Amino acid sequence: MSTAVHSAQRSIPARHDPIAAYAFAFAFVSSAALVFSIFVAHACLAIAFVLLLFSKTPVRVPPAAWPVAGFMALTLASAAASDNPAAAWPQIKKFYVFAALPLVFSLFPRWDQTRRLIEAWFVCALGATLLSIGQFIQKAAAARAAGVSFYEAYVGERITGFFSHWMTFSEVGLLVFLVLASYLLFSNSARRYGWGVWFGCGLVIGFALVLSYTRSVWLALLVAGGYLVWHWNRRLLLAVPALLLLLGVLSPGAVQRRLASMASPDANSNRLIMWQTGGSMIKAHPWLGVGPERVGPRFAEFMPSRFASMDELPPAYYNHLHNVYIHYSAERGIPAMLMLLWLLAKVVLDHQRALSRLGRGPGDEKFLLRAVIAATLGVAVVGCFDLTLGDSEILGFYLTLIALGYGAVERVHRAVDAGVPIA
């Protein structure tokens, strides 16, 4: 890291505050545990936040807190207007996860703290992906022993790592992989602290993402990974079409079948029905939606008229709409969905402004700023096909990452405003 950033960090007042030290320790464990245990993550989050409140460290919120606050307020309004306000409690209870935003922003002001947490994510994700590869081998062996099609048996019961669902595993894995890719491409610290080790870690995590058979994650990886490559060496993007073609030809038949299903109307008919149903909900309740947790119970009321009952629908999970933008518009109203879009856009713009103040070449702050933008692009793309940030693990990880990113934004602006150029 440049001397300017070190200088900016030293300008932060240091106090002997043992309570803040304990708060930091629990916040660190909470943030790292997002990759392997939601119970540990949430338990430590509560302890860390209480300790922060009793410490001498002021509670600070990044600029992204404004759209988050708007989203929370509109959720409460939607719940109040719902036909069953009590049903909203699980979503209101989930507000707890948003505490990660001020907690991490307040307790991780320095780059060395951030680096240790990010590398802890890499290690924990490696453990999760090694477990998932073992799960994949076990499932393949079970399908072979039963004499059934591996693809048919696997698509409905994929690898989950330490999580309960494959979507959670693959989406958290996507975010970790993008952070790791940015770390390898842009960070000076990666070159000093075991680049080869982290590269090997990235290969394992990337391999597990392929084995996840999660099409939306593959597409998000292509978009967000393309963003990172564009800013590292854009000429390499010329080789992407040929590389994708080669991978498609050389991939096992099950992977090719999964890729082909992206364009198959039959394979995606259930999502089209969900999106049509969501559109009807939005038309009927544009401002506050049908209410938190009411999409599933009221699905039959708004589904296409060509179906007489839910029993006629293609097999699928119909309690959410498999598109975060349609779902939140239908569930909580268009204004709530706009708060989500404001959050994503603000994160990208704030981090891009900080990047514009940096010079050429790699840098630790540059890595983190690029990682947050790439992760936001990943979240935005996956959100077109899944609820994404409706999952506590994914939401918690993303909030923690952008809190770290806003720490980098603050350090960059502080250093540049002090008149010292940074790389």
The full set of domain ranges for the chain reads: 3-257+321-417
Q: Please check the confidence at residue 8 and state whether its pLDDT lies above 60.
A: no
Residue 261 banded pLDDT, cuts 50, 70, 90: confident
Q: Please check the confidence at residue 4 and state whether its pLDDT lies above 60.
A: no
Could you tell me if 154 and 143 are in contact, meaning their C-beta atoms sit under 8 angstroms apart?
A: yes
Summarize the confidence of residues 41-48 as an average pLDDT.
98
What is residue 423's predicted lDDT score, i.e. its pLDDT? 53
Percent of the chain scored above 90 by pLDDT?
83
Residue 266 banded pLDDT, cuts 50, 70, 90: confident
Q: Please check the confidence at residue 320 and state whether its pLDDT lies above 90.
A: yes
Q: Please check the confidence at residue 330 and state whether its pLDDT lies above 90.
A: yes
pLDDT tens by residue, 345-379: 999 999 999 999 998 888 999 999 999 999 999 99
What is residue 200's predicted lDDT score, i.e. its pLDDT? 97
Q: Choose among 182, 169, 69: nearest CA to 128.
A: 169
Q: Please check the confidence at residue 160 and state whether its pLDDT lies above 90.
A: yes
What is residue 262's predicted lDDT score, i.e. its pLDDT? 85
Q: Please check the confidence at residue 3 and state whether its pLDDT lies above 60.
A: no
Q: Choose among 177, 178, 157, 160: nearest CA to 169.
A: 160
Per-position DSSP letters for 330-358, written without gaps between them: HHH-HHHHHHHHHHHHHHHHHHHHHHHTS
Q: Please check the confidence at residue 333 and state whether its pLDDT lies above 80.
A: yes
Q: Please check the confidence at residue 14 and state whether its pLDDT lies above 50.
A: no
What is residue 421's predicted lDDT score, i.e. its pLDDT? 65
Q: What type of residue sits at position 323?
A: N
pLDDT tens by residue, 92-102: 999 999 999 99
Percent of the chain scored above 70 by pLDDT?
96
Could you tell me if 314 and 269 are in contact, meaning their C-beta atoms sit under 8 angstroms apart?
A: yes
What is residue 256's predicted lDDT score, i.e. its pLDDT? 83
Summarize the confidence of residues 110-116 as an average pLDDT.
94
**Structure token digits, residue 166:** 């494959």
Q: Please check the confidence at residue 244 and state whether its pLDDT lies above 90.
A: no
